[in-house]
Structure 1
Amino acid sequence: MTPLPARSATVDTPPGPFTVVVDRGGAVLASGWTADVADLLPVVHRALRPAWVEEVEHLPVLDAVTAFVAGDVAAIDDVPVRQRSGPFLEDAWEVLRTVPAGEPDTYAAFAARCGRPAAVRAAANACARNAAALFVPCHRVLGSDGGLGGFRWGTPVKRWLLDHEAAHAPVTV
């Protein structure tokens, strides 16, 4: 099966340029803090990787990014995402979308949230292999010591995201 073409666009954000690659249906295939779409394509599963990417000036999904940056941290919650891998990773990516903004998990708590409390390394791997940064908020998972842990787009970006969400997340009671 020949992969279909995709579209990409970039928007400026406080931590740097944010680029998104979407399929023809508008679902995010990959995203991250880069102005170079070539940085994103290697993380797209080969079954979803587009044959080519048309760079456009704007995509509707960037409206959610702009709203997020403006303080509506829930604006990214319903953006459609398409990722493929094995069952654990696909489930873990869905679970990541349930980690509330402003209330980060540790890798151990995230593994437990995934139903596999002993699978801390697998949970960390799910974060590391996530192609749809921001929309699948792997930045909301911290080390067991409360440290930032890793982040594909750099710990300064992760710190900005966590601080931004802490400042703008709805207060839960």
Structure 2
Amino acid sequence: MIDAQILPTPIGPLSLLAREGVIVAAGFTPDPSQMFVRLSPQLQALGLDVVEDLGAPAEAVRAYLAGDLDALDEVPVEQPGSPTRRRLHQALREVKAGTTVSYAELAERAGMPRTAARAAGSACAQNLIAPFVPCHRVLPSTGGFGGYYYGVPVKEWLLEHEAS
């Protein structure tokens, strides 16, 4: 079974989906089924159950929102992807709160050439575990905020929260 919890945040509800304590999806939506349908068919076959408390992952979100910006770093996550995408997601997790990188820098941190910025952008677009895999910390080298699956205002809020 995939367990889900919906947490209130200053920027709207955050749905967390976990399997045996490991986050498999998270996103700024009041409806966990919107995240559930993005999971692999194998995980979807387990079913979805909304629970009152996921325990440690929910506590980490509360701590992050209260100012412990490293709290999400210790929560185990797992999402599908090629070895390249997994390297990029791991490199994302290593971008510290309060800092940002460009897509080219993210590719370089993942051991890929800077020319792999497009692959880095794709990894961010396909990220199922925001903000635990903090794709909001990646900005275009041309300036601005770029896109964000949950909307630029959410990305801006997360970056402002982490900068304070």
Do both share a fold (TM > 0.5)?
yes
The correspondence of residues 42-121 of structure 1 with structure 2, limited to 5 A, is 42-60=37-55, 61-116=57-112, 117-121=114-118
| TM-score, normalization by structure 1 | 0.90
The alignment partner of 1:131 has SS state of coil
Question: C-alpha separation between the residues in 2 aligned to 1:78 and 1:72?
Answer: 12
- Take 2:88 and 2:42, find their aligned partners in 1: how far apart are those partners? 19
1:111-154 CA distance string (max 9 Å, x none): 11112211010000000001001111111100112311111111
Runs of 5+ in structure 2 lacking a partner? none
User: Which residue does the alignment assign to 1:148?
Assistant: 145
Asked whether the equivalents of residues 36 and 48 of structure 2 are also in contact (C-alpha less than 8 Å), the reply is: no
Distance (Å, rounded) in 2 between the aligned partners of 1:57 and 1:80: 20
- The equivalent of 2:4 in structure 1 is 8
Do the aligned residues in 2 keep the contact of 1:99 with 1:140 (CA within 8 Å)? yes
Instruction: Provide the residue aligned with 1:139 in structure 2.
Output: 136
User: Residues of 2 paired with 1:95 and 1:49: CA distance?
Assistant: 27
Partner in structure 2 of residue 170 of structure 1: none
**Cα distance in 1 between the residues matched to 2:123 and 2:87:** 9
Question: SS of the residue aligned with 1:48?
Answer: helix
Alpha-carbon displacement from aligned partner over 1:23-80 (angstroms, at most 9, x marks no partner)? 0x21001001111011101322334335311101111111100110011110000100
TM-score (norm 2): 0.95
More helix by share: 2
| 5+ long unaligned stretches in structure 1 | 168-173
State the secondary structure of the residue aligned to 2:16.
Answer: strand
CA RMSD after TM alignment? 1.1
3-state DSSP class of the match of 1:93?
helix
1:30 to 25, 28, 39: 25
Cα distance in 2 between the residues matched to 1:142 and 1:83? 22
Number of aligned residue pairs: give it: 162
Query: Taking every aligned residue pair, what percent have the same amino acid on both sides?
Result: 42
Alpha-carbon distance in 2 for matches of 1:121, 1:52: 34
